[in-house]
Structure 1
Amino acid sequence: MNAYLHRSEDRGHVNLGWLNSKHSFSFGSWYNPKYMGVSTLRVINDDHIAGQQGFGTHPHDNMEILTCVLKGTISHQDSMGNKGDIKAGEWQLMSAGSGIQHSEMNQYDEQVHLLQIWIHSDEPDATPTYQQISCDVQQAPNQWHVIAGPNDNAQMHLRQQAEVKSAFLQQDHRLNVQSVHGLNYVHVINGAVEIGEHLVKAGDALLFRDVAEIKALNDAQMIWFDLTDNA
C-alpha cells in the first residue's frame, strides 16, 4: 500500500492560554512549507477553547469552513444574520463565498473541543451560505456518515468536488475506504486504527489512493476526506 502517514507529533502546536491548538497544516503563526494542505483541503485545526473565550469578529472569503464540535458548545454569529449555538455532535458549514464576518465564542464555563476545517471553494465569489446539522456519529457507529459534499447524498452542500465523511468505529469493527474523487485523507480524532499495514493513532492522518480497509484497534472516531487527485 503506497501511503503517507502524517503523524500527530508533526503538527504545529500553538498555546495562547485560552486557546490550545494543533495545526495539521500551516496556519497563523505556525508555518512549515512541508505542510500546506492536501489537494483542496487547507486547514485542520484541533482546538481547545477555554470558557468565556473565543474568536472575535473576523473575515473570510472563498473558503468552505466546516466546524465539528466534539465537546462543549460554541456560539456563532455572522454578518448573514445567523446566530446560535453549535453543540457537541453538531456540525456547521459556512461557505464564505464573496465574503462574510463572523465570531465564534465559548460563552460557557466548560472548555470546548472542536475541529476547524477549511476547504477551498470551486465557486469563486459565490453568495455566502450557512448550514448546520446534528450528526453524532457515536450514536450510529460502524458506518460512514456523509457530512458534506457536492451531491445530494451529503447532509450539507459543499462547493468543491470533495466529500467529508465521519465514523465512530467500535473496537475490532471494520470499514472500507474507496475514493470517488481520487485521494483519501483519513484523519483520526481519537482512538487508533489500522489501515493496511499502517497504525494510525489519534491526531495522525493517512494519505493514500488505494482501496483500503480500516480496522479499529480500540474505539475510534475519524474523518475521511475524499479529495481530487489533480488540485
Structure 2
Amino acid sequence: MKTLLHKADTRGHADHGWLKSYHTFSFANYYNPERMHFGVLRVLNDDSVAPGMGFGKHPHDNMEIISIPLYGDLEHQDSMGNKTVIKEGDIQSMTAGTGVFHSEYNKNKDKEVKFLQIWILPKKRNVTPSYDQITLSLEDRHNTLQQIVSPDKDDSGVTINQDAWFHLSNLDSGKSLDYTLKGENTGVYAFVLKGDVSINGVALSTRDGLGISETDSLKIEAGTDAEFLLMEVPMQLPSING
C-alpha cells in the first residue's frame, strides 16, 4: 500500500477578496511540482465565493468537472443551454470534451457559497460536451457510503467520461466503514470535510487529504462525527491521443 498525506495547512491558498480558495493540487498561481495530480485527479479546489460574486464566462475543454456545493446556492450557466442552481445535496458534472463555456455565480446577495470543484482527466478526448446534475438525500449518506459519481449512466450518481467513482459519507463517532475498490489499477483520494477519521491506520482531520494506492480495500474509522469524500480514480494517466 502506498499513501500520500496532504495536511490541510499545506495546501495552496488564494485570497482574491470575493474568492477564497484552497488548492490541494497545483492550480493558477499555486505551483508545486510535487502536487500536480493523484492519478487522473488533477484539481481539488475548496472555494468560498462572496455574496453576489462569481466566475464570469470562461472556457474548458477535455476535462471532467465535478462541483459539490457545501453551503449556499451556486448559479451555473453554460454554452450548452443549461441554466441551473446547485445547493447542498446536489452534485453537478460537466464533460467539457471538445469545448464549452460556463459561468458560476453566488446566487445570493446576503451569504457566501462554499463548494468543491474537482477536475478529472477524461478517459477519451474530444467527445461531445455534456451536463449532468442530481439532487441526493443527505440522510442516505449517514453511516454509509453514498455514491455520487460513476462512469455508468445506469449506476447511481452523475456520469463522467472516466472510470471513477466518488462517495460521500457522514459517519458518527466510533462507527466504521469498509470500502472495496471497484476499478483496475485505481487508487482513492480521501478528503475530510469535517471531523477526525482514520483510513487504513492513517489519522486525518478536517480538510486533510490522503491518497491511497496499491490496495484493494479501505478501513475507515471515525474518531469524531465526521464527513468525508472518497474519490476512486485510475492511477495511470490517459494517452493524449485517447
Interval of TM-score (by shorter of Structure 1 and Structure 2): over 0.9
Partners of 1:87 and 1:180 lie apart in 2 by: 28
Deviation string 1:36-89 (CA, Å, 9 cap, x unpaired) is 011110001000110010100000011110000010001011111100211122
Give the 4+ runs in structure 1 shifted more than 3 A.
Answer: 136-140
Aligned to 1:134: 135
Equivalent of residue 227 in structure 2, options 200, 221, 231: 221
Partners of 2:26 and 2:117 lie apart in 1 by: 13
> Is the 1:137–1:166 Cα contact (8 Å) retained in structure 2?
no
Quote how far apart the aligned CAs of 1:196 are: 2.7
> Is the 1:69–1:114 Cα contact (8 Å) retained in structure 2?
yes
Equivalent of residue 196 in structure 1, options 166, 190, 200: 200
Q: For 1:32-181, what aligned pairs fall within 5 Å after superposition? A: 32-108=32-108, 109-138=110-139, 140-151=141-152, 152-181=154-183
Distance 1:138 1:111, change over 3 A: farther
The answer as to 2:191 corresponding to 1:187 is: yes
Quote how far apart the aligned CAs of 1:24 are: 0.4
Partners of 2:124 and 2:5 lie apart in 1 by: 31
Deviation string 1:95-136 (CA, Å, 9 cap, x unpaired) is 111111010001312110100000011121111111111124
Partners of 2:45 and 2:61 lie apart in 1 by: 18
Q: Which moved more, 1:95-104 or 1:179-188?
A: 179-188
Partners of 2:180 and 2:106 lie apart in 1 by: 37
Q: Which runs of 5+ in 2 are unaligned?
A: 238-242
Partners of 2:180 and 2:8 lie apart in 1 by: 23
Partners of 2:182 and 2:91 lie apart in 1 by: 23
> Is the 1:150–1:158 Cα contact (8 Å) retained in structure 2?
yes
Provide the TM-score with structure 2 as the length reference.
0.91
- RMSD (Å), alpha carbons: 1.4
> Is the 1:162–1:227 Cα contact (8 Å) retained in structure 2?
yes
Quote how far apart the aligned CAs of 1:189 are: 1.2
Provide the TM-score with structure 1 as the length reference.
0.95
Partners of 2:64 and 2:194 lie apart in 1 by: 24
> Is the 1:178–1:212 Cα contact (8 Å) retained in structure 2?
yes
Q: Secondary structure at the match of 1:39?
A: coil
Deviation string 1:151-173 (CA, Å, 9 cap, x unpaired) is 23232111011111111111111
The answer as to 2:29 corresponding to 1:29 is: yes
